[in-house]
Amino acid sequence: MSLEGRCVLITGGASGIGLELTRTFVARGVRVLVMDRDPKAPEAVRDLENVVVASGSVTEPADVKAAFDLAESSFGPVDVVFANAGISQNCPTLDLDLEGWRRVMSVNLDGVFLTVQEAGRRMIPRGQGRIILTSSIYGVVAAPERLGYVVSKSGVSAMTKALAVEWAQHGIRVNAIAPGYVRTPFVEDLQARGRLDIGALEKRTPIGRLIETHEVAEVATFLASDASGPMTGQIVGVDGGWTAYGYV
């Protein structure tokens, strides 16, 4: 599973799951380009060795291209792309206005499309590459009051399969990770504000706890490595059994 010396581009890599991905890849000897919309990315990212930060939005084609250009000028060709940037959305469907709908589609679906399209432009001429997308349990199963999120993440899952089939002939593998509820500062803040019941989520999860960020990152490094061999077009659940559990 050695990844040493490779170049990885991660969108949304400065916080939450993305930050853990960045740290884990760096620990494996990987050179990382972090693309994040926050122009003042946390020092936790900027202080890491072999990390370059590109400020920009995944919804802007020029920003995405600039991030790839910076990665190549800093480290050489990008070997692995992790389209991780995304936003959540939780509200009753009748309260969801067109602006809110378009925003979640823009980041979660358009942003992923622009990222993987730019990756394909760089990887196809080289005849090799690894692309990983962040889907969700709600890209596999549904939940109420999350219409935009469910539709966008389902689109990410479908995109994974379509690209895997189309680009396999070019030596490019495309897979997605579908995390369950992951313990992040964002989730813990929702709990503190009374907007989320972590105890109820843990009870609903067969393994009896939330997923840890390092567990998602370990699966990511596996998919990025040669150890995952012929795996392509797969939506890999990291959810503690959430999507398998159908008993009430």
Q: How many CA atoms lie within 13 A of 174 on its CB side?
A: 29
7-238 topology per CATH? Rossmann fold (3.40.50)
The pLDDT value recorded for residue 93 is: 97
CB burial of residue 208 (10 Å; 0-12, 13-18, 19+) = exposed
Please tell me what DSSP assigns to residue 200. H
Put residue 7 in one of left, alpha, beta given phi > 0 → left and psi -120 to 50 → alpha. beta
Give this prediction's pTM: 0.95
- The helix (H) or strand (E) run that includes residue 25 is helix 16-27
Rounded Cα distance, 178 and 156, in Å? 10
Q: Residue 200 has which token pair?
A: 């109820």
Residue from 138, 149, 181, 247 carrying the catalytic annotation? 149
Rounded Cα distance, 23 and 10, in Å? 11
What confidence tens digit (pLDDT) does each residue in 62-86 have?
999 999 999 999 999 999 999 999 9
Residue 189 banded pLDDT, cuts 50, 70, 90: confident
What confidence tens digit (pLDDT) does each residue in 236-248 have?
999 999 999 988 6
Known catalytic membership, residue 149 = yes
The pLDDT value recorded for residue 38 is: 83
Angle at 188 between CA 131 and CA 42, to 5 degrees: 60
Rg (C-alpha) for the chain, rounded Å, is 17
pLDDT (average), residues 42-57? 88
What confidence tens digit (pLDDT) does each residue in 84-104 have?
999 999 999 999 999 999 999
What is the pLDDT of the chain when averaged over all its residues?
95
What confidence tens digit (pLDDT) does each residue in 190-242 have?
899 888 899 999 999 999 999 999 999 999 999 999 999 999 999 999 999 99
What confidence tens digit (pLDDT) does each residue in 50-65 have?
999 999 999 999 999 9
Q: Tokens 């969700």 appear where?
A: 136
Is the per-residue pLDDT at 41 higher than 80? no
